Structures are given as C-alpha cells and as structure tokens.
Chains A and B, each alone.
Chain A
Amino acid sequence: MSQEISDEALCRRVAEGDEQAFDELVTRYQGRAYRIAWGILREAEDARDVAQDAFVRLYEAAGRFRGEARFSTWFYRIVVNLCLEHRRRGRWWRALVVRDVAERDGARLDRLPAPAPDPLDGASQAQLMTRVWAAVEGLSSRQRAALLLSVQEELSTSEIAAVLDCAEATVRVHLHRAVMALRRSMAETG
C-alpha cells in the first residue's frame, strides 16, 4: 500500500472494512503505540497488550473518526485512555511491585562505591537517570502521560489536550506539577 495515502484516508477505509488499510495503519503505528504505552505503564508485556487492544478498538471505532482531529491524535487518545484504565485496574498490587523494585534498586545503589568527583562519568550519569526515572514513576498517570507525550513524542500542548481530552490550561497544569514533583523528588534524594 502506498505511503502517499494519509492516515486519515486509511482510517476511513478501515471504517469500510478494508483489511489492507488496517494492516497499513498497524504497520505505521505499532511502534508508537507500544512506546507510548510502555512510557506510561513501564511494563513491556502490559504495553504490548494495551497497544494490541488499541488497534482492536481502532478497527471497531474507525467509523467514528470524523477527521476533525488528526488521526494520530485520535489514536493516541485511544492508547492513553486504555493505559489509564489499565493502571486503574492494576493499582493496588502494582504499587507493591513498584515499591519492591525501588527498594531493590535502592539497596543496590547503596552498595555502589561513592560517586566519583566528575559528575559526568558514566556511573554517576546512570545513577542520576535511575533517580529521574524513579521520580517519573512516582507521577500520576496523567502527569506522566502529559510529560512523555510532550518530551518524548514531541506533541504540542494543544495536541496533548486533545489526547488527554482536557483543556490546554489543564495540560499546562499537569506538566507544571509533573516538573515540580520531579524537582522536589530530585532535591530530596540528592
């Protein structure tokens, strides 16, 4: 299938039951869907499941795509909603697992030699990244979704607002709170 056909046109064909168009959209978006889901869920298996679910929903709901937003925005919204739903379902036991991992990592870091004076060496960098990610893990799902869509997927504030189904001002608040939480967390653990 030609690369010239827009995502939006493909989606309209999917609505008519065109399997080839669906296949092409999966090819175009499977990597992104999985990456976004992994960013929010941080579990490869879960991210794969949710991404697959998102495509099932895409197929069933293609007729509801009216072309008012870009296809990518519409589809990311499906992915993110499924992720948020997934986290809500998995909340209580997941919290235990995350704490367990954090404790293990903390214990491992304690056994490492004191950081070398050069702050740019590999070990210190890795340690810093571990702390940043621990802080990101502590964000609410929506804050993390907004942050990752902004920073990693490079969506604009208005696109994120469309994906998260909220006002742009809310996206700014999510991003602001996410950054404040990260700064606080880094200052505390530093």
Chain B
Amino acid sequence: MTADGPEHVELAFVPYLRGELPRDERDTVETHLAVCPPCRRGLAETRALLDAVRRAPAAPALDVGRFRAGLEARRRRHRPAWMRPVPALAAAGLVAALVLLALQPAPRDADDHLAAVQETVLGARLGLLEQYPVVERLDLLEDMEVIGALDGLAATGS
C-alpha cells in the first residue's frame, strides 16, 4: 500500500502513539523499532508533528450571542420538512442516485450507501437542494463511492 515496504511500521505510528494498538501489534512495532533507525526517526518526527498540531493556535473566539442570533435566523428560513414539497429536480436526482446504487454489486458497506441515500433524502427534505445544485449532492455520493473503494483497498492491503 505504501512505499515503505512490508517490514516497516509507519502505518502504525499514529495508533501506536495514541496507545490504540493491541498488545501483539504493539510488540511487533517495538521489536521493529529496536532494529530500524529510519522508523525510530520517523516515529520521533511523527510525535513532534502531532504535538505541534495539538498545540496549534485555537480558533478565533466565537461570539455566542451572534452565533445564536444567526442560528435562529437560519431556522426561520428552514420551514419544517413536511411543509415544503420536494423540488422536482431533486426528486429526479434522487431517483438517479437510487438507480446508480441499485446497479452496484452488493457492497460490504451497504449500510454506508444507505446512509448516503438517507443523507440525500434528508437534504431534499431540508431544502438544502435549493441551495446546493443536485449535481453536488451526487458528487457527495460519488465521493462516498471512492471512500468505499478505499475501504476495500485498505482491507486487502493490511
């Protein structure tokens, strides 16, 4: 999967530093680190970088009053879902998405696809499709396909 070859342990750096590895995997990493200076240096770099990201400057302060006022204004613009019809174009886009999904070979992440469709349905009901063109909703579905494929790669690669 990566250029570092099967014997290096770079893929495990983050989970190792986070203490998330099961005992046997941790032992494997530590055994390797003991004999591999490049991985030791890589781990040190990774630790320093994660620490830098952790200490990154905080977001500019949130003006809570302004936030709440904006939220209320937004909610007034979004009438309840059952009071607005699903736009015809959105419905067409949804049908297209469902057809595309139906044509997929049975995926291991069927639930993920279902979630994607639910998101689209939700988006339509919320009137989000009035703000974002249908094409971009389909783009979202497409992106989930890519990620789904990545899942497959990751599963076979590890």
Contacts and interface: CB of A to CB of B under 8 A. Distances in A.
B130 interface: no
Given A26-B68, A88-B139, A89-B136, A180 B62 contact: no
Contacts of A98: none
Contacts of A88: 136, 139-140, 143
Contact of A170 (B49, B71, B140, B150): B150
A56 B157 CA distance: 40
Chain B contact-residue range equals 35 or more
A165 B147 contact: yes
Contacts of A164: 147
Given A85-B132, A165-B144, A173 B52 contact: no
Interface stretch (A5-13, A106-114, A128-136): A128-136
Interface-centre pick from A26, A51, A89, A176 (highest chain B CB count, 10 A): A176
B87 interface: no
Interface of A: 26, 30-31, 34-35, 38-39, 44, 47-49, 51-53, 55-57, 59-61, 64, 81, 84-85, 88-89, 128-129, 132-133, 136, 142, 147-148, 150-152, 156-157, 164-167, 169-170, 172-173, 175-176, 179-180, 182-183, 186
Closest 5 CB pairs of A and B: A169-B154, A38-B59, A167-B151, A175-B14, A44-B60
Interface of B: 1-2, 10-11, 13-15, 18, 20, 42, 45-46, 49-50, 52-60, 62, 64, 66-68, 70-71, 74-75, 78, 80-81, 109, 112, 115, 118-119, 122, 125-126, 132, 136, 139-140, 143-144, 147-148, 150-151, 154-155, 157-158
